[in-house]
Amino acid sequence: MNKIKAIIVDDEKRARNVLDQLLSRNFDNIEVVAQCADVPSAVEEIKRLKPDVVFLDIQMPNYVGYELVNFFDKVDFDIIFVTAFDQYAIKAFELSAIDYIVKPIDRNKLTQAVEKLALKLKQENKLKDYEVLFETMKSNEFKKIIIPELGNRRIVNLDEIIAIEAHGAYAKIYLLNNKPITMSKNLKHFERLLGNSLGFFRSHRAWIVNLNHIESVNKADLCLTLPNGLKAKIARGQYDAFELAIR
């Protein structure tokens, strides 16, 4: 199950801890990645951690909670207000908050808010998938792949992929400027998905390489050198086909 990353913002430490415990004990799909006591520190943590949702108190020193959005050019996280003052409800929904919970927190109300959030995020992920599909159909060229990763869905350009290495029933995807990604798909899945026509070549039972990123070939050792110091194998029986492909 993909985790929803959450940040709790409340000037009262006890209130933060109570909500943190309620979320951790009752919702397997929520991960609280930070607690903040005021709006400025929340802004820093949101920019650093990029949460999916912020559980936000309203009455706090220096800034009221809903002023948080003024610190962002684009608000790419959801908000659930949690406060003792229900007169702010109208303001909350003007900001398109997911929900509004009045303290003391009612578990049923919290459950409804989390379920509403999860449904919204699921719909947004589907929309991203359709956008990639539409772009592919419009250009009549397959250029991107969607990779589930640590609760997120990363859209990767194919030309960023250096190689894919088999690890049993899993596969490790090596990227130009990012850490490798491990996926629960075998190499056969990627061979069917990518194919030689996109510049990818099955050089070995454990390797698919992007021909555009090959830096050198050692025929004696049957080894391919790729960016970032990566070394891939090439099977002896594949060498002639490989030479034909790189031409």
Question: Residue 165: which CATH number?
Answer: 2.40.50.1020
Same domain, yes or no, for 155 and 239? yes
**Is the residue at 133 inside a domain?**
no
Number of domains in the chain: 2
Residues 78 and 182 in one domain: no
Summarize the confidence of residues 110-115 as an average pLDDT. Answer: 91
By three-state DSSP, how is residue 14 classified? helix
Q: Residue 86 pairs with which residues in a beta bridge?
A: none
**Segment 1-19, tens digit of pLDDT:** 468 999 999 999 999 999 9
Distance CA 178, CA 180 (A): 6
Average confidence (pLDDT) over 15-30: 94
- Of the CA atoms within 13 Å of residue 82, those in its CB half-sphere come to 27
Report the candidate in 146, 150, 151 with the shortest Cα–Cα distance to residue 161.
146
| Alpha carbon separation from 161 to 140, 187, 228 (Å, rounded) | 20, 14, 12
Q: What is the mean pLDDT of the chain?
A: 83
Return the pLDDT at 189: 82
Looking at residue 137, its pLDDT comes to 42
Q: Residue 49's domain is classified under what CATH number? A: 3.40.50.2300
> In terms of domains, do 112 and 159 share one?
no
Range of the domain at 82: 4-123
CA distances (Å), origin 107, targets 15, 24, 26, 76, 113: 14, 13, 9, 26, 10
Q: What is the 3-state secondary structure (H, E, C) of 190-235?
A: HHHHHCHHHCEEEEECCEEEEHHHCCEEECCCCEEECHHHCEEECC
Q: Which of 68-72, 182-186, 209-213, 218-222 has the lowest mean pLDDT?
A: 182-186
Residues 166 and 223 in one domain: yes
Alpha-carbon span 149 to 96, nearest angstrom? 27
Q: Inform me whether the pLDDT recorded for 96 exceeds 70.
A: no
DSSP per-residue codes, 58-76: S--SSS-GGGGGGG-SS--
pLDDT in the model for residue 89: 61
Residues 126-182: tens digit of each pLDDT: 656 555 544 554 454 557 777 765 556 677 888 889 999 998 778 899 999 888 888
Distance of alpha carbon 151 from alpha carbon 156, whole angstroms: 16
Do residues 149 and 160 touch, judged by C-beta distance below 8 A?
no
pLDDT tens string 52-89: 999 999 888 888 888 898 898 888 898 998 888 766 66
